[in-house]
Homo-oligomer: A and B are copies of this chain.
Amino acid sequence: MSAGVGAEGPIVVDWGSSNFRAYRFDAGGALTETHQAAAGILSVKDGAFEAALYREIGNWISAGRQLYLSGMITSRNGWVETPYAEAPARLADLAAQAVRRGGSRGEKLYFLPGVCARAPLPDVMRGEEIQVFGTVGPQQSATVVLPGTHSKWVQVEKGAITGFRTFLTGEVYALLKAHSIVGRLIPEGAAPFDEAAFLAGVAQAQDSRSAGLLNDAFTTRSGALLGNFPPAEIADRLSGMLIGHEIREGLTLGPISGALYLVGEESLCGKYRLALEASGQEAVLGSGHAAVEGFRRLSALPETAA
Contacts and interface: CB of A to CB of B under 8 A. Distances in A.
Contact of A249 (B171, B212, B225, B242): B212
Contacts of A212: 167, 213, 245-246, 248-249, 252
A214 to B, nearest CB: 4
A173 to B, nearest CB: 10
Interface in A165-190: 165-169, 171-172, 175-176, 179-182
Contacts of A168: 176, 180-182, 214-215, 217-218
B167 A214 contact: yes
**Interface SS, A side:** helix
B225 A242 contact: no
A175 B123 CA distance: 21
A227 B84 CA distance: 12
Nearest to A180: B171
Interface stretch (A21-29, A30-38, A113-121, A273-281): A113-121
A172 B214 contact: yes
How many copies of this chain sit in the oligomeric assembly?
Answer: 2
A201 to B, nearest CB: 12
User: Which range contains the number of A residues in contact with the other chain?
Assistant: 35 or more
A175 B168 CA distance: 12
Contacts of A171: 180-181
B181 A150 contact: yes
Nearest to A169: B214
Nearest to A209: B120
A34 to B, nearest CB: 30
A228 interface: yes
Interface string A143-176: 0000000110000000000000111110110011
A43 interface: no
A61 interface: no
Contact of A213 (B150, B213, B226): B213
Q: Max chain B CB contacts within 10 Å: which of A116, A222, A228? A: A222
A224 to B, nearest CB: 9
A124 interface: yes
23 contacts: A116-B225, A121-B215, A121-B216, A122-B219, A123-B219, A124-B222, A124-B225, A165-B211, A165-B215, A165-B218, A166-B215, A166-B218, A167-B212, A167-B214, A167-B215, A171-B180, A172-B217, A175-B180, A179-B179, A211-B249, A212-B213, A212-B252, A214-B246
Given A123-B218, A175-B175, 16 more contacts: A118-B226, A120-B209, A121-B204, A121-B210, A121-B211, A121-B222, A121-B223, A122-B228, A124-B226, A150-B218, A165-B211, A167-B218, A168-B218, A175-B179, A211-B252, A213-B214
Interface of A: 84, 116, 118, 120-124, 150-151, 165-169, 171-172, 175-176, 179-182, 204, 209-219, 222-223, 225-226, 228, 242, 245-246, 248-250, 252-253
